[in-house]
């Protein structure tokens, strides 16, 4: 499947929510967006991004994991204009959902990163390590007594950092790509 063709069909956040959301779902996404704060160091890092990166997000406006994570991507795009984030509704594109299954299941959000010229760079989803650690602690019991997750650390801040780590990894992969370095003369 040509997932970059799906990126070209995908919608910016506002259009995605207008087409697939409801006022209640839109309010949940807006609340998360308003709560996402980037540290000065995170903003500085995002400001160093130079390679155009197309980010396809397979999502559902109704999805709690999506409303808790997807607004993070738009915060990143505010700080790094080279990021173009587009959303694809999982239910309206079952072929993309089949292609992007995780552990044999239909999961969202799933993010696919593309170079400026449409080459797939990476896939990541549907929950970050920090979110899984929190779920394990809630559902199975304490799993991280070693102190890896600091007491009092806000989950949204940790999830934001997890996602930023992946966006950064993709950016440096693109920045160091011999093909793109030759194209841009850098």
**Res 107 pLDDT > 70:** yes
Strands (E), 36-119: 53-59, 83-89, 110-114
Question: How does pLDDT run across 46-65, given as a tens digit for each residue?
Answer: 999 999 999 999 999 999 99
Is the pTM for the entire model greater than 0.75?
yes
Question: How does pLDDT run across 113-157, given as a tens digit for each residue?
Answer: 999 999 999 999 999 999 998 888 888 865 554 444 444 558 999
Q: Domain of 137?
A: 3-184
Q: Exposed (0-12), middle (13-18) or buried (19+): which is 119, by Cβ within 10 Å?
A: middle
pLDDT (average), residues 157-182: 97
Rounded to the nearest 5 percent, the helix, strand and coil shares of the chain are 50, 15, 35
pLDDT (average), residues 162-186: 97
Cα atoms found within 13 Å of the Cα of residue 131, Cβ hemisphere only: 15
Report the number of distinct structural domains present in the chain. 1
Q: What is the CATH number of the domain that holds 51?
A: 3.40.30.10
Specify whether the CB–CB gap between 50 and 180 falls below 8 A.
no
């Amino acid at each position: 499947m040509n997932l970059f063709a799906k990126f070209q069909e995908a919608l910016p956040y506002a259009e995605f929510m207008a087409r697939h959301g409801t006022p209640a779902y839109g309010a949940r996404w807006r609340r998360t967006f308003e709560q996402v704060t980037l540290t000065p160091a995170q903003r500085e890092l995002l400001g160093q991004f130079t390679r155009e990166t197309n980010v396809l997000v397979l999502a559902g406006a109704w999805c709690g994991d999506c409303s808790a994570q997807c607004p993070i991507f738009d915060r990143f795009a505010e700080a790094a204009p080279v990021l173009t984030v587009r959303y694809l509704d999982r239910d309206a594109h079952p072929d993309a959902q089949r292609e992007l299954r995780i552990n044999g299941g239909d999961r969202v959000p799933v993010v696919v990163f593309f170079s400026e010229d449409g080459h797939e760079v990476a896939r990541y989803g549907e929950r970050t390590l920090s979110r899984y650690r929190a779920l394990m602690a809630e559902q199975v019991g304490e799993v991280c007594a070693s102190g890896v997750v600091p007491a009092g650390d806000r989950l949204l801040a940790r999830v934001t950092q997890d996602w930023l780590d992946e966006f950064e990894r993709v950016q440096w992969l693109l920045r160091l790509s011999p093909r793109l370095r030759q194209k841009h003369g850098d």
